[in-house]
Amino acid sequence: MTEAVNEENSLWQNPKFIAYMGSTTFFNAGFSMQQLIISWLLVGVLLLPGDEVGLIQAAMGVPGLFLMLWGGASADNKDPRSILLNVYSVTWLFPLVLATCVYFDLLNIWSILLFGLAISTTTSFSSPAQQAILNHVAGSQVQRAVTASTAVMFLVQILSLAFAGQMDKVGLSTVLIVQAAAILLAAITTSRLDKTTPTPQPIGETSWMRLLNGFKATYNNKKVFHLLVINFISSIFNAGAFMTVVPFVVKRTYDGNALQLATIMIIFYFGATLTNLFMFKIMPIERPGRWFLMMQLSRVIILSLLVIRPDWWLLIAAMFAWGLNMGLTTTLSRTIVQESAEPEFRARILSVYSLGLIGSAPIGAIVLGNIIEIFGTLEALIPAMLVSVVLFIYGVFFSPVWSYLSPTFDHAGKIKQN
């Protein structure tokens, strides 16, 4: 117990880790506001149907699919800190541009589309660099560092959503200005990080070769490959349900407003935060793959509560449970990838991991948006239930994820001594 406490304290006493947390905290604050702003402007302000919302959300995410891989190759070959500084130094201007559109009454589908496209594109490019830095500042405490950063991310999302949910009262322009300020602060705190020396790469290797080698490394690492397959398919229907279906549930099923949507999202991320705080105390986890797969199966129960159109209080409880579930799966999947990826390919493998998450969003938006309009809002949650069962079976019987052993432990189940 004393050893665990000392490890926990040493992580928070690491100035490099603190600087990293500051950088990610401010950027996540801005990105969290983005999620609510886009969803509510399309669903609650412009009152677009589900299929149109799906197409718009897909259009916002497609360019990021290519930049995500490019960003991963760059982060393996260049200083990821410099990449973040360049991206953040530009991104903070985009909310100010949309605020200008609001001032001149130019808020429409096209201005919202361009705004969302700009933010998602820069986020896709910066994400691999941000994740690659984590291993450098965490040292031997990768599991704890991933859990701590994820917990803080969810906590920041709660606070950001609480503020952005007031956009009907404080005004959209005010929310956008605060979003811009948060991203600017991310750039400032990123400048306090030390430069990172990239892992030596083969001489003469072109960008396209680096991309191809990143895919090969991901495929050859079977633990990572099967995990990414499960994560990708799950994200289409589960993360897709949260981002695309839930706003329609609030608006159409419960006749809610922006504050009620924000409340739902806050409850969700509060559950995710509590999960990560708990995991931070008990980590390292010997078999994270088993917990990851069991959470896939348990999600069926949670989604079944939403499908029956429960009273508002039960909806809140179900969203809290969903957040607990998602907090576990997000952290455990990131942990396995961070632990398993080879150092020379880490950023590229992480970019493929992020590509799966971001690439699933356009697909999920289109598929679920059309299901909403054809079959109904709550019916769009049913595919996620079926997919969760299939993924659990696949993960247990047809992949090495269930048997994955964290390198922190030896085969006798004891923590290795550094």
CATH number at residue 310: 1.20.1250.20
Residue 293 has a pLDDT of 94
Q: CA triplet 233, 235, 241: central angle to 5 degrees?
A: 120
Domain-embedded: residue 405: no
Domain-embedded: residue 416: no
Residue 399 has a pLDDT of 93
Structure token digits, residue 225: 């490959």
Residue 16 has a pLDDT of 82
Domain-embedded: residue 402: no
* Alpha-carbon dihedral 293, 299, 300, 301, rounded to 10 degrees: 130
pTM: 0.71
Q: Which residues contact 138 (CB under 8 A, 6 or more apart)?
A: 11, 17, 144, 145, 146
Q: 166, 177, 69, 60: which is closest to 125 by C-alpha?
A: 69
Domain count, the chain: 1
Residue 193 has a pLDDT of 84
- CB-based contact 37:174 (threshold 8 Å): no
% of residues, the chain, pLDDT over 90: 27
Q: Which amino acid is at 22?
A: G
The 3-class SS string of 342-376 reads: CHHHHHHHHHHHHHHHHHHHHHHHHHHHHHHHHHC
Report the distance separating Cα 309 and Cα 54, nearest Å.
Answer: 22
Report the distance separating Cα 161 and Cα 265, nearest Å.
Answer: 7
Q: Binning pLDDT at 50, 70 and 90, where does residue 207 land?
A: low
Q: CA triplet 398, 400, 404: central angle to 5 degrees?
A: 150
Strand partners, 415: 409
For residue range 356-413, list pLDDT tens digits in order. 776 777 788 888 888 988 998 899 999 999 999 999 999 999 999 999 988 877 766 6
**What average pLDDT does range 35-52 have in this prediction?**
83
For residue 68, the Cα-to-chain-centroid distance in whole angstroms is 13
Surface-to-core class of residue 417, CB atoms within 10 Å of its CB (0-12 exposed, 13-18 middle, 19+ buried)? exposed
**What average pLDDT does range 3-22 have in this prediction?**
69
Domain-embedded: residue 169: yes
Residue 6 has a pLDDT of 46
Q: Is the preceding peptide bond at 383 cis, omega within 30 degrees of 0?
A: no
Given a cut of 90, whether residue 227 has pLDDT beyond it is yes
Q: Which amino acid is at 397?
A: F
Domain-embedded: residue 312: yes
Q: Binning pLDDT at 50, 70 and 90, where does residue 230 land?
A: very high
Residue 392 has a pLDDT of 95
Report the distance separating Cα 395 and Cα 296, nearest Å.
Answer: 10
For residue range 160-181, list pLDDT tens digits in order. 888 888 888 888 899 999 999 9
Compute the radius of gyration of the chain from its Cα atoms: 21
The 3-class SS string of 164-207 reads: HCCHHHHCHHHHHHHHHHHHHHHHHHHCCCCCCCCCCCCCCCCH
Residue 240 has a pLDDT of 82
Residue 5 has a pLDDT of 42
Report the distance separating Cα 61 and Cα 121, nearest Å.
Answer: 7
Q: Which residues contact 178 (CB under 8 A, 6 or more apart)?
A: 33, 163
Would you say how long the chain is, in residues? 418
Residue 72 has a pLDDT of 62
* Alpha-carbon dihedral 42, 45, 46, 49, rounded to 10 degrees: 60
- The dihedral of CA 371, 374, 375, 376: what is its sign? positive
Q: Binning pLDDT at 50, 70 and 90, where does residue 2 land?
A: very low
Strand partners, 409: 415
| Domain region containing 16 | 2-397
Domain-embedded: residue 404: no
Residue 179 has a pLDDT of 93
Coil, strand or helix at 108: coil
Domain-embedded: residue 410: no
Domain-embedded: residue 48: yes
Distances in whole angstroms, Cα of residue 188 to Cα of each of 51, 60, 370: 39, 27, 42
Q: Binning pLDDT at 50, 70 and 90, where does residue 1 land?
A: very low
- CB-based contact 43:248 (threshold 8 Å): yes
- CB-based contact 73:351 (threshold 8 Å): yes
**What average pLDDT does range 277-296 have in this prediction?**
87
Report the distance separating Cα 4 and Cα 305, nearest Å.
Answer: 38
Coil, strand or helix at 411: coil
